Amino acid sequence: MTTRIGIRELTRGTSKIVHRAAAGETVVITEHDEPIAMLVPLPRTGNEKIDQMIRDGELIPASNPGGIGALLAIEPVPASNDTDTAEVISEMREDRV
């Protein structure tokens, strides 16, 4: 849900409006009926540790089309042999020469 709020209303009820955003509402802040900013809830990933890091400012979610959920859905691929990472990188560089 998106709500438009004038900047004067925001200054009078900042706490209330911030709590609305924290509850999931998107608030577009306007000045003279023109949007100037947006207050949005922090993303929820479903992973409590990552969510806490975002809330603490220790992690800034990447901005990508799929959102942080797309990043979290990437599963690491286990190595199929005992090749050293340095060897793989060296081989890749040889291909460019």
Condensed to tens digits (0 to 9), the pLDDT of residues 25-83 reads 889 999 999 999 988 887 778 889 988 988 898 988 776 656 666 667 777 767 667 77
- CB 24 within 8 Å of CB 18: no
Domain spans of the chain, in order of start: 1-41, 43-78
pTM exceeds 0.85 for this model: no
* pLDDT value of residue 7: 93
* pLDDT value of residue 17: 93
Those residues whose C-beta lies under 8 Å from the C-beta of residue 77, and which sit 6 or more positions away, are: none
* pLDDT value of residue 4: 93
Residue with tokens 């990043």: 71
Residue with tokens 């540790």: 49
Residues in the chain: 97
* pLDDT value of residue 64: 61
pLDDT band at residue 6 under the 50/70/90 scheme? very high
Could you please state the CATH topology (level 3) that the domain comprising 1-41 is classified under: YefM-like fold (3.40.1620)
